[in-house]
Structure 1
Amino acid sequence: MKTFLTRRACMTAVALGALTAAIPAMAQSPFPSQPIKMIVPYPAGGATDALGRMMAQKLGEAWNTSVVVENKPGAGGTIGNNAVAKAPADGYTILMTITAIIQQPLLMTLPYDPLKDFAPVVQVAKSPSMFAVPLNSPANTLKDFITLVKANPGKYNYGTYGAGTSSHIQGALLNLQGKLDMVHVPFQGAAPLVNNMVGGQLTSAFIDSASARAHLKSFKPLAVTGTQRIAALPDVPTFKELGFHSYEPLGWFGMLLPVNTPAAIVTKYSEEFNRILRMPDVVARIEGFGLGVGGGKPEEFAQVMKSDAQVYATIIKDAGIKLSQ
């Protein structure tokens, strides 16, 4: 038996076929096709916020789209971090974060895993830290300082910009490796730390380079973190040069997307951010903060996060660091 189709049925079949063929094309519309939200998990006005807004502006100009910066401060950055970890993995929500994201899970229970719930995109900037003493300190070298502390038990402290931060971890490591008994004095942020250091209320402190850059003549830096001396302090040795270990990791600012974001979108972001980070005005702005310019492939940033987390985990365990300290 033969089956005959009416003219209307044929036209309907053709239209349905065309619509079906169009659906994949519609689903694969060019990225981005809507505004992008950049979450900064800290208050407006800080270095993380400033860098995030600069990158958002450049990205918006390059992609001819709106990139809206949304500050989600609270709980040391974990509220904003979690918002991105739980966001749809479609590329329209990106996180501008800092080293603390890999340190906090080593000290507290969090609703996300920084090494499993995010797709690394790029390091934006790198931040060495320095160990410094007041101008009136008799110590002119780290060796001098260690000798002083050992000769005066219970009289020396180290200030940091918060419990559980890089500066806290670095100070505990110096106590451990130098066999010292310095008391940890945490502050709520870098600004009060620097003010108390300049004012002479502390006998030593670990300060990040961005916060210290305007005060380098107000105290005496004795050593810096990382594997290279920093340009602003060419005569100050690294801890590694002085025989200390595990001071190699630098602080960093970086971009992360939710895990399972399509690889093509991660690559698109990475390539664009790397192009932006080569712009002379961007380089000047980052270096003006006292930071090093970042860059690199997503897999390189992923390796930095993983290796740094391993170093911090060992220090925290060996030094017995607790947030109640």
Structure 2
Amino acid sequence: MLVAAFAAAGLWAVPAAAQAPWPSKPIRLVVPYPAGGNVDLLGRLIGPKLSEALGQPVVIDNKPGAAGAIGTADAAHAEPDGHTLLLGDIATHAINPALQDKLSYRPMEDFTPVIRLTSVSLLLVVNPKGPAKDLAELIAFGKANPDKLTYASAGLGTPQHLAFELLKAKTGMLGTHVPYRGSAPAINDLVAGHVTAMIDGTAVPMAREGALRALGVTGAKRSAALPDVPTIAEAGAPGYEFASWHGLFVPAKTPAAIVERLNAELNKVVADPAVRERMAALNIDLVGGTPAAFGDFIKAEAGKIAELVRISGAKAN
């Protein structure tokens, strides 16, 4: 009788465990970059919203290094129980696979995409005292003076670098790439006149103040932050389009019900007018959509970015 009773207890324990509520403890949101940047800002915006909706704290875990690869690998190898999330981006899931031969994670196999959160147009800027007042003049200068046009970026193989490589490919403009360790020192040198041009997402404030001249935005539409600045396609490079992006991922094999719940809650966040207005002021558009649509988008982006990396000749150190 005792054996039967214990066996019965064991049988009842299995479905009880399987039906344990989620989330049952604090959720870790891995941000694979330092505190203070756009990815961190986005994480700290959606974290409290998710916490309120799910009834558990959402703790930001900044794990920077290797262009986002260190934190991304950490999330990839976490337990797929819905208590570890990754705030990934164009670098973690498109650029790094094309740029680095040996990643410690597999972007498509090790993760399940949950939702595309953003589309981020970058800004083509020059020094106001430089040789170009618009895109046509910059293109002409680059073709006539390929040894004089220099373009800065936040580093080799970064979205800023690849966006400029696409501009060169679309226009025939030439120039020399000058990589920096981040956007801030690159923009400082552009303001000082040490380089000719740059494409970057953080240059909006300086363009507004007149410290830099904005020639175009890289996305398919004009930016709400700078509505008078044309798209690069409008300004003289037909067919040009480049946007950075962010999205939420969970480790592969996370239960589908958890993925669906996260997707539903985050679609509510990106539809919030107050959240959209706050992000628009930073030149960040919120997107939303289904996990399947995000997965298809990543596959298309991976092919596009791989070709830009090939054109640029960039290689990881």
TM-score where L is the length of structure 2: 0.91
- For 1:155 and 1:243, how far apart are their aligned partners in 2? 21
| Matches for 1:103-252 after TM superposition, within 5 Å | 103-109=95-101, 110-208=103-201, 211-216=202-207, 217-241=210-234, 242-245=236-239, 247-252=240-245
- Structure 1's unaligned 5+ residue stretches are 1-8
* 1:12 to partner: Cα distance: 5.8
What one-letter code is carried by the residue in structure 2 that aligns with 1:266? V
- For 2:199 and 2:311, how far apart are their aligned partners in 1? 19
For residues 200-241 of structure 1, the C-alpha deviation after alignment (integer angstroms, 9 at most, x for no partner) is 222111111xx1221113222222212112223334332334
For residues 218-268 of structure 1, the C-alpha deviation after alignment (integer angstroms, 9 at most, x for no partner) is 2222222121122233343323343444x4341112111111111111111
Could you say which residue in structure 1 is the equivalent of 2:68? 77
Could you say which residue in structure 2 is the equivalent of 1:253? 246
Counting matched residue pairs gives 312
What CA RMSD, in Å, does the superposition of the two structures yield over aligned residues?
2.0
* 1:42 to partner: Cα distance: 0.8
- Structure 2's unaligned 5+ residue stretches are none
State the secondary structure of the residue aligned to 1:277. helix
What one-letter code is carried by the residue in structure 2 that aligns with 1:108? Q
What one-letter code is carried by the residue in structure 2 that aligns with 1:204? A
Task: From 67, 76, 91, give the equivalent of 2:82.
Answer: 91
State the secondary structure of the residue aligned to 1:205. strand
Contact 1:56 1:67 in 2 (8 A): yes
Contact 1:40 1:73 in 2 (8 A): yes
* 1:37 to partner: Cα distance: 0.8
- For 2:245 and 2:19, how far apart are their aligned partners in 1? 34
Contact 1:172 1:321 in 2 (8 A): no
Between 1:258-267 and 1:168-177, the stretch displaced more is: 168-177
- For 2:154 and 2:19, how far apart are their aligned partners in 1? 46
For residues 294-325 of structure 1, the C-alpha deviation after alignment (integer angstroms, 9 at most, x for no partner) is 3111112112211111111122223433346x
For residues 271-305 of structure 1, the C-alpha deviation after alignment (integer angstroms, 9 at most, x for no partner) is 11111222343223322322112311111211221
Could you say which residue in structure 2 is the equivalent of 1:5? none
- For 1:167 and 1:175, how far apart are their aligned partners in 2? 13
- For 2:292 and 2:96, how far apart are their aligned partners in 1? 22
Could you say which residue in structure 2 is the equivalent of 1:6? none
For residues 93-143 of structure 1, the C-alpha deviation after alignment (integer angstroms, 9 at most, x for no partner) is 111122111101101121222122211111222210121111113422211
TM-score where L is the length of structure 1: 0.89
- For 1:115 and 1:240, how far apart are their aligned partners in 2? 31
Whose Rg is larger? 1
Between 1:13-22 and 1:69-78, the stretch displaced more is: 13-22
Task: From 14, 29, 32, give the equivalent of 1:23.
Answer: 14
State the secondary structure of the residue aligned to 2:174. coil
What one-letter code is carried by the residue in structure 2 that aligns with 1:269? L
Could you say which residue in structure 1 is the equivalent of 2:302? 309
State the secondary structure of the residue aligned to 1:292. strand
State the secondary structure of the residue aligned to 1:221. strand
Could you say which residue in structure 1 is the equivalent of 2:261? 268
State the secondary structure of the residue aligned to 1:104. helix
What one-letter code is carried by the residue in structure 1 that aligns with 2:219? G
- For 1:297 and 1:263, how far apart are their aligned partners in 2? 13
